[in-house]
């Protein structure tokens, strides 16, 4: 599944937009292979996977999506909307964001959700009312 904004890139119908640093690193790491998009998301909210809510979190890409699982106290899958660090939640590096201002706004949106645990595309999980770490970062 993908947000409608990014679906064409994910499926390979449009080229992957890369900044200068990403083009250099792609020579070493390669680029993702296109995959079929089975479900296109157009708004925040529940979708075909029971218990999950999609939250559009632009910044890393224009169509980046985070997912909130309604279990226990809530589990947030941020993808690249934020990162885990030794000292708590941190912003995705500017160089890895298509839009740094949107990324900051998205982090603030996540700080309004309800979750106890957050996992990231990069870095250690945030545990124990993790939303508080997002709130602190969003107001810093």
Q: What's residue 97's pLDDT?
A: 85
Among the listed residues 43, 133, 128, 59, the one whose alpha carbon sits nearest the alpha carbon of residue 93? 59
pTM attached to this predicted model: 0.91
Q: What's residue 69's pLDDT?
A: 98
Report how many domains make up the chain: 1
Q: What's residue 25's pLDDT?
A: 84
- Classify residue 77: in a domain, yes or no: yes
- Classify residue 37: in a domain, yes or no: no
- Classify residue 120: in a domain, yes or no: yes
Pairing type for strands 45-46 and 52-56 reads antiparallel
pLDDT digits (tens, 9 = 90+) for 18-35: 878 788 888 898 888 999
CATH number at residue 108: 3.60.15.10
Residue span of the structural domain in which 52 resides = 43-138
Q: What's residue 86's pLDDT?
A: 85
Q: What's residue 47's pLDDT?
A: 97
- Classify residue 61: in a domain, yes or no: yes
User: Which parts of the chain register pLDDT below 70?
Assistant: none
């Amino acid at each position: 599944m993908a947000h409608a904004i990014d679906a064409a890139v994910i499926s390979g119908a449009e080229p992957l937009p890369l900044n200068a640093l990403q083009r250099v690193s792609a020579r070493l790491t390669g680029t993702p292979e296109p995959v079929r998009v089975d479900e296109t998301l157009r708004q925040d909210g529940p979708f075909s996977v029971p218990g999950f809510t999609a939250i559009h979190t632009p910044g890393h890409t224009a169509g980046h999506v985070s997912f909130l699982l309604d279990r226990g106290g809530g589990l947030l899958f941020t993808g690249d909307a934020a990162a885990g660090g030794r000292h708590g939640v941190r912003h995705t590096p500017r160089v890895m964001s298509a839009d740094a201002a949107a990324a900051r706004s998205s982090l603030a949106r996540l700080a309004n959700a309800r979750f106890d645990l957050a996992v990231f595309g990069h870095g250690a999980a945030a545990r124990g009312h993790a939303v508080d770490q997002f709130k602190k970062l969003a107001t810093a």
